[in-house]
């Protein structure tokens, strides 16, 4: 069976190569257009948000004692007397060149701040998605195999709880139980204070940096700090990953090729993990990509609770002091990563799955 | 089990009328359809549990002054941070306000948010989706492209940015959430519209001279409504969680409005000794959004079996 399959595949492959290349081009073109319009939309929305502010930016800069002449001069210098479309073009040009303006709070360019805080979020989200995948996929597969059993119902309820619980509250309660009471995990922040700056920053990911420096004390400390917030984010994504894995698996388990495999004497374990699971791997990658994008969003509130110095906390801190440049810069960065993940999963799906063409 | 069944089914005479094979009026047919839907919904214990939670929320909101005898905003610093007592069932917060009263009155705020977000976003989504689906062509492409753009943004971050520029407050939070909520309904409404736009009854109305807008408003939109309702119910949990998140960050309802997210934020400062102060409102948010999720799941199984 396997041999004939390979033979027919190789015969088909040369004929479909051209077709495949064309498909790739089309998918790529569609993707570029989609990327362009979505990013344009992001720029328009952030531009509008920046202009919605009830505060007059000129007045804020010159103060209310300035003369009309000074006011007009500053207005001109800030480019606010230009037509609105011209202002938008200037804004878009600046953003495309990485110029998000200065942050009032940190008195540094927003881009520099972003480069500083982004690795912390990336590290948290990555550990979170690893936890979500490692637990979510097997649980989803088993829930599908033993569907309508007690196990399946327990998994379903666990998933619904994940969809329903306010993540910031779970974080507070988690800190209360596992940090203050049991002292199993590290507290807020990425490291204990006395470990700060102990390992040189290479990637900005403390777990990686401490391995590179061979400093296992720092690694263990960082792990103790990241484990609770990452587990919470992991649980949050687990609910989604598990549900999608279950429904994708159910689709496969009803197929006749599995009966054929069983009749041929393939072990049940191989039927489930090799045959059925093998066929859902492609859509699963897109599910995981979307889950990762959602984790980025969930990290905004989680970082606030855990005093995690990432992009989410940066945005919320900037919000409370009306530091609009920082808020909009953060929104654009998170939005861009989010759009990127969405499009990546979309592209992958279009290229690999012929049914989605 | 039998008693449970008896309470869930109608009396024999009414039942016969509802289950009639040949209903005599449109009204009877509609009632019969609703009754059959209810019967299949009632088979799902989790869906019923969700319905019970949502009904409980409605009752709490409607009868708040009778359920909670205390004034939720009354401060009394002599009794601050008390553990649960006979007088204050769930204790008091750091301003000496009764937690139970705040919790009950908070259900009104939650309901206010949910209803307003729905009232703003569902019609927008319905209009955009039906128009795009019915008119097709360029209009469809442009409208759905805009929908996609909104869809591909992180919802909470977008809401945060909107609130940042509109200024903190309950109503601004609601507007911000509604702006991020409508695209989902637009997609659902468009899919439903595509399924009916080529139907004979639509052609019949058109040959009678109905305008596009009349067809969209009177004939297409009503058919998309059930799917949008299911989608909205499933979305309510997300709306509640987002609103609570904004409240927690201090960007939603402002004190002394008894909002659950803000209550957690206040209680957090006393977590070491009075853990129940933030624990209780969090439980309330969790239970209510779980209720909406369960109800939405149950409704989806009844109204839209192909989705489950």
- Substitution target from A43, A148, A169, A293 for chain B, most B beta carbons within 10 A: A169
pLDDT at B286 over 90: yes
Of the partner residues A37, A168, A297, the one whose CB lies closest to the CB of residue B155: A297
DSSP tag of B25:
S
Question: What does the mean pLDDT of chain B come to?
Answer: 82
pLDDT at residue number A17:
63
Three-state secondary structure call for residue B98: strand
Q: Is A330 on the interface with B (CB under 8 A)?
A: yes
Determine whether the interchain pair A301/B145 forms a contact, defined as Cβ–Cβ distance below 8 Å: no
Low-confidence ranges of chain A (pLDDT < 50): 1-5
Q: How many CA atoms lie within 13 A of B124 on its CB side?
A: 18
Average pLDDT over residues B233-250: 88
Question: Measured in whole angstroms, how far is the alpha carbon of residue B136 from the centre of its chain?
Answer: 30
In chain B, residues with a C-beta closer than 8 Å to the C-beta of A100 are none
Query: Three-class SS string for B130-163?
Result: HHHHHHCHHHHHHHHHHHHHHHCCCHHHHHHHHH
Contact of A279 with A245, CB cutoff 8 Å: no
Nearest to A330 by CA among A313, A315, A344: A315
pLDDT digits (tens, 9 = 90+) for A320-346: 777 888 888 888 888 888 888 877 777
- Burial label, B121 (beta-carbon count in 10 A; 0-12, 13-18, 19+): buried
pLDDT at residue number B45:
82
pLDDT digits (tens, 9 = 90+) for B60-97: 888 878 877 777 777 776 766 677 776 666 677 766 67
Per the structure block, which two tokens stand in for A306? 């855990």
- Render A283-315 in DSSP notation, one character per residue: HHHHHHHHHHHHHHHHHHHHHHHTT--SHHHHH
pLDDT at residue number B195:
82
Interface of A with B in 9-38 (CB under 8 A): 34, 37-38
Phi and psi, residue A102, nearest 5°: -95, 145
Within 10 A of B42 (CB to CB), how many other CB atoms are there? 18
What is the residue whose two structure tokens read 């900037």? Answer: A318
pLDDT at B136 over 90: no
pLDDT at residue number B6:
46
Q: Does ipTM surpass 0.85 in this model?
A: no
Considering Cα of B50, then B56, then B60, then B61, what sign does the dihedral take?
positive
Of the ranges A245-254, B25-34, B45-54, which one carries the lowest mean pLDDT score?
Answer: B25-34
Q: Is A328 on the interface with B (CB under 8 A)?
A: yes
Phi and psi, residue A227, nearest 5°: -65, -40
In chain A, residues with a C-beta closer than 8 Å to the C-beta of B144 are none
Query: Three-class SS string for A108-122?
Result: CEHHHHHHHHHHHHH
Within 10 A of A96 (CB to CB), how many other CB atoms are there? 10
Within 10 A of A215 (CB to CB), how many other CB atoms are there? 17
Contact of B278 with B271, CB cutoff 8 Å: yes
Per the structure block, which two tokens stand in for B107? 């259900």
Nearest to B240 by CA among B62, B113, B132, B155: B113
pLDDT at residue number B233:
79
pLDDT at residue number A138:
93
Per the structure block, which two tokens stand in for B7? 């309470």
pLDDT at residue number A38:
83
Residues contacting residue B212 through CB under 8 Å, at least 6 positions apart: B134, B135
Q: How many CA atoms lie within 13 A of B13 on its CB side?
A: 0
Q: How far is CA A33 from CA A26, A36, A40, in A?
A: 11, 5, 10
Contact of B96 with B108, CB cutoff 8 Å: no
What is the residue whose two structure tokens read 């062509």? Answer: B137
Determine whether the interchain pair A301/B248 forms a contact, defined as Cβ–Cβ distance below 8 Å: yes
Query: Three-class SS string for B162-219?
Result: HHHHHCCCHHHHHHHHHHHHHHHHHHHHHHHHHHHCCCHHHHHHHHCCCCHHHHHHHH
- pLDDT above 90 covers a percentage of chain B that reads 11
Determine whether the interchain pair A176/B148 forms a contact, defined as Cβ–Cβ distance below 8 Å: no
Determine whether the interchain pair A46/B161 forms a contact, defined as Cβ–Cβ distance below 8 Å: yes
What is the residue whose two structure tokens read 């989790």? Answer: B46
Instruction: State the Cα–Cα distance between residues B247 and A31, nearest whole angstrom.
Output: 37
- pLDDT above 70 covers a percentage of chain B that reads 91
pLDDT at residue number A14:
56
Determine whether the interchain pair A319/B164 forms a contact, defined as Cβ–Cβ distance below 8 Å: yes
Of the partner residues A52, A175, A297, the one whose CB lies closest to the CB of residue B157: A297
């Amino acid at each position: 069976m396997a041999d004939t399959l390979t033979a027919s595949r190789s015969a088909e492959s040369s004929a479909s190569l051209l077709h495949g290349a064309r498909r790739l081009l089309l998918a790529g073109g569609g993707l570029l257009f989609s990327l362009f319009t979505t990013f344009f939309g992001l720029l328009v929305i952030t531009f509008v948000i920046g202009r919605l502010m009830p505060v007059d930016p000129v007045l804020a800069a010159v103060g209310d004692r300035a003369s009309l002449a000074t006011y007009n001069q500053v207005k001109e210098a800030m480019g606010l007397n230009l037509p609105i479309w011209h202002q938008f073009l200037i804004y878009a040009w600046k953003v495309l060149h990485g110029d998000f303006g200065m942050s009032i709070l940190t008195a540094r360019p927003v881009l520099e701040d972003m480069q500083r805080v982004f690795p912390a979020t990336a590290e948290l989200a990555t550990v979170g998605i690893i936890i979500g995948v490692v637990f979510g996929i097997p649980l989803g597969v088993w829930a599908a195999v033993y569907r309508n059993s007690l196990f399946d119902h327990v998994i379903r309820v666990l998933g619904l709880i994940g969809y329903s619980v306010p993540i910031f509250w779970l974080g507070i309660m988690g800190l209360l139980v596992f940090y203050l009471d049991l002292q199993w995990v590290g507290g807020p922040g990425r490291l204990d204070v006395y470990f700060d700056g102990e390992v040189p920053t290479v990637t900005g990911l403390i777990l990686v940096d401490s391995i590179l420096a061979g400093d296992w004390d720092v690694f263990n400390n960082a792990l103790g700090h990241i484990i609770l917030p990452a587990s919470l984010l992991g649980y949050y994504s687990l609910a989604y990953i598990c549900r999608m894995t279950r429904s994708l698996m159910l689709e496969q388990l009803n197929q006749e090729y599995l009966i054929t495999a069983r009749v041929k004497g393939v072990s049940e374990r191989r039927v489930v993990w090799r045959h059925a699971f093998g066929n859902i791997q492609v859509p699963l990658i897109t599910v995981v990509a979307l889950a990762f994008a959602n984790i980025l969003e969930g990290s905004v509130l989680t970082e606030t609770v855990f005093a995690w110095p990432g992009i989410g906390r940066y945005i919320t801190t900037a919000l409370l002091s009306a530091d609009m440049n920082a808020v909009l810069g953060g929104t654009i960065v998170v939005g861009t990563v989010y759009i990127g993940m969405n499009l990546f999963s979309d592209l992958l799906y279009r290229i690999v799955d012929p049914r989605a063409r | 089990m039998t008693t449970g069944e008896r309470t869930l089914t109608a009396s024999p005479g009414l039942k016969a009328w509802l289950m009639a094979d040949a209903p005599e009026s449109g009204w009877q047919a509609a009632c019969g359809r609703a009754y059959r839907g209810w019967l299949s919904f009632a088979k799902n214990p989790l869906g019923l549990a969700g319905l019970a939670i949502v009904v409980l929320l409605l009752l709490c909101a409607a009868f708040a002054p009778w359920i909670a005898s205390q004034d939720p905003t009354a401060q009394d610093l002599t009794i601050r941070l008390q553990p649960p007592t006979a007088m204050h069932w769930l204790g008091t917060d750091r301003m000496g306000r009764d937690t139970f009263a705040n919790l009950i009155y908070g259900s009104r705020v939650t309901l206010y948010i949910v209803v307003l977000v729905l009232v703003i976003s569902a019609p927008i989504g319905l209009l955009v989706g039906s128009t795009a689906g019915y008119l097709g062509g360029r209009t469809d492409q442009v409208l759905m492209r805009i929908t996609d753009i909104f869809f591909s943004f992180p919802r909470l971050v977008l809401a945060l940015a909107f609130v940042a520029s509109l200024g903190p407050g309950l109503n601004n939070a609601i507007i911000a959430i509604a702006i991020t909520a409508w695209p989902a309904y637009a997609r659902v409404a468009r899919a439903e519209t595509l399924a009916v736009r080529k139907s004979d009854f639509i052609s019949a109305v058109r040959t009678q001279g109905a305008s596009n807008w009349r067809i969209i408003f009177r004939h297409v939109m009503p058919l998309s409504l059930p799917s949008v309702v299911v989608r909205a119910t499933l979305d309510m949990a997300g709306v509640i969680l987002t609103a609570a998140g904004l409240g927690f960050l201090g960007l939603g309802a402002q004190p002394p409005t008894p909002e659950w997210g803000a209550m957690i934020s206040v209680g957090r400062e006393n977590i070491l000794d009075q853990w129940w102060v933030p624990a209780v409102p969090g439980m309330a948010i969790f239970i209510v959004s779980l209720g909406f999720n369960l109800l939405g799941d149950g409704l989806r199984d009844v109204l839209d079996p192909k989705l489950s």
